[in-house]
Structure 1
Amino acid sequence: MMGRNDNCFCGSGKKRKKCHSYISEDSYIESLYKLYHEIEIIKRDHQYPLEHPCKKGCHECCYDFFSITMLEFEAILASLKRHGINYTREIFNIALEFNTFIEKNDPELYAYFEKDLTGSDFTEEFFFQRKLYNNRPARLSFPCPLLNKESKSCSVYEDRPFICRTHGNTFNTSTNLYKNNSPTCEYIVDSRDNANYTPEVKDEFYTKMMELNKLVQGEMRSFLLQYPIFYWFKLYKDKNEKYNRDMYESLVPAYFYKKVDSLQPIDIR
C-alpha cells in the first residue's frame, strides 16, 4: 500500500501528499496516470538518433480532429481547476465558441453529439461513432481549447490525454497510419520512416486504455463513448446546469476513488 510520504504514482517525483493526495489507490484515475507514466518512461529511455519535432511547444496536432474518453477529460478538468476557477471558466468559454462553430458548419456531427442515447446499445453506438469520426476531415480550423496561444503549449501538459502523448513521437504497427505510410503532419511526412526513430507503444497500452473506458452493467462490459475535447466542455456545462451545479463540476467523482472494473451507470451523474 502506498503511503502519503511515498513518491506519487504519477511520476512527478513529489510525495503523494503534495501531489495527488485526493486520488484513492488503485482507482481509475490512478490507473490512468500510471499508464501515462509508463508511456513517458518508454519515450524518456528511447535513444532518438535525430532531434524529433514532437516536443512541448509544437502544436501541429492540436488542430487535429480526435476524441478522448470521459476519464481523460475528468483528469483534464481536475488539472484546470488547480489553475483556478476563473481560468477554468475562460477555457470553457473558448470551447463553447468552438461548439457553436461546429453546430453551424457540420450539423450532422453536432446532431450526433446532441443525440439522446438513453436506452441505446452502447457497443453498437461506440462503433457507429468511430465510423462517423473517421469520415471527418483530419484537421479542424481551430485548435484544441487547451492550447495556450501565447506560449504555443498545452495548458494541462502534464495531464494531457493518451493520444497527445503518443501521436507522432511513438509508433504502433497496428495503426492505419503506419500501414498506409501516411504523413502525420507537415513535419513528419513519412510515418514508416518516423517509426525508425521513435519507440513503439505496443497494443497492450491501447488495450489498457480501453479497459479503463468500460462501464459495468451486470455481467456485461460496454465501452463509454468518446468525444472531442471541445464537446466534453459543452456536455459538462449542460448536464451540470440541468441540476443547478457549476459547469465545471465532476460528472464522475467515482473515477477518483472506485477501483477499476467497478464503474456502474449509477456512478455517472
Structure 2
Amino acid sequence: MPGQTLDARLVQIVDAALADATLRGGSHLACRAGCSQCCVGVFPIAQQDAERLRQGLHALSGSDPARAERIRLRVLDALTRLDPWFPGDLATGVLNEDHESAILFEEFANDEPCPVLDLTTGTCDLYEARPILCRTFGPPMRTPEDNLGTCELCFIHASTDEIAACELDPAVPEIQEASDDAYNEQAGCSGETLLAYALRDN
C-alpha cells in the first residue's frame, strides 16, 4: 500500500512526541479515557489519515465485526447530516481548497460527534488508527500565529511558563506535512477530507 512505511514512521514520531509532552504535562493534562470533548465537531484530515483509518476499520472487521458494523452505521448516520452542507466534492469526499477560510466551514457541524466515537463509553473505536490531529490534541501546540494553544480542559491553572515547558515538539507539523505530501505523491491523491467520508463505503 502506498505510503504504509511513511505512515508508520510518522505515527512513531508523533506518538513519541506526545508521550514526551504528556510526561511533562503531568496533572495539567485532563485527557483520560471517556473524555471525548475533542471528538465532537468535524475537522479536516489528510489522505494519509484517511487511509490509516480505512485500514483500521478493515482490521477491526476481522477482529470485532460487531464493533466495525456499529462504526459503519454511525458513518451512514453522520453522512445524512453532513451531505447537504458538505463544503467540497460529494463524489470524492475531498474538501474545497479554500474550506479553512470559508465562514461556512467555521460553523459546519460543530456538534457532530465523530462516527468512530462510542457515545456510550466516550472512547474511540479506532484509537490505534486515529488521525494525527487526534494524537496531538491536549498538550500545548504552536499555532500559525506563534501562540501556544491548549485544550480548554487542560492547563487551566498552569502559568504561561508551565504551558511553554510542556509544548509538543514544534517540528511535528512540518514532519507531518512532508509525510502527507510524500504519501499523496505516491498514492496519486490530494486534498483533505472528513473522517466520515474517509470511511464511506468501507
Q: TM-score range by the shorter chain?
A: 0.7 to 0.9
Report whether the alignment pairs 1:175 with 2:144.
Answer: yes
Which is greater in Rg? Answer: 1
Distance 1:216 1:37 in 2: 21
**Using a 3 Å threshold, how does the CA distance of structure 1 residues 183 and 169 change in structure 2: closer, same or farther?**
closer
Q: Post-superposition shift, 1:165?
A: 1.0
Distance 1:28 1:192 in 2: 40
Q: Post-superposition shift, 1:94?
A: 0.8
Report whether the alignment pairs 1:207 with 2:174.
Answer: yes
CA contact (8 A) 2:46 2:192 kept: yes
Give the one of 78, 93, 98 matched to 2:78.
98
CA offsets 1:6-36 (integer angstroms, 9 cap, x no match): xxxxxxxxxxxxxxxxx7xxx6122222222
Structure 1 gaps of 5+ residues are 1-22, 238-247, 249-269
Paired letter, 1:56: A
Q: Post-superposition shift, 1:189?
A: 5.7
Report whether the alignment pairs 1:55 with 2:49.
Answer: no
Distance 1:44 1:111 in 2: 35
Partner of 2:191: 225
Aligned residues: 192
**Secondary structure at 1:136's aligned position in 2?**
helix
Partner of 2:15: 40
Structure 2 gaps of 5+ residues are none
TM-score (norm: length of structure 2): 0.75
Paired letter, 2:74: I
- Map of 1:17-166 to 2, 5 A cutoff? 28-45=3-20, 46-84=23-61, 85-103=65-83, 107=84, 109-110=85-86, 112-114=88-90, 126=97, 128-132=98-102, 135-137=105-107, 140-166=110-136
Q: Post-superposition shift, 1:110?
A: 1.9
Report whether the alignment pairs 1:198 with 2:174.
Answer: no
Q: Which has the higher contact order (CA 8 A, sep 6+)?
A: 2
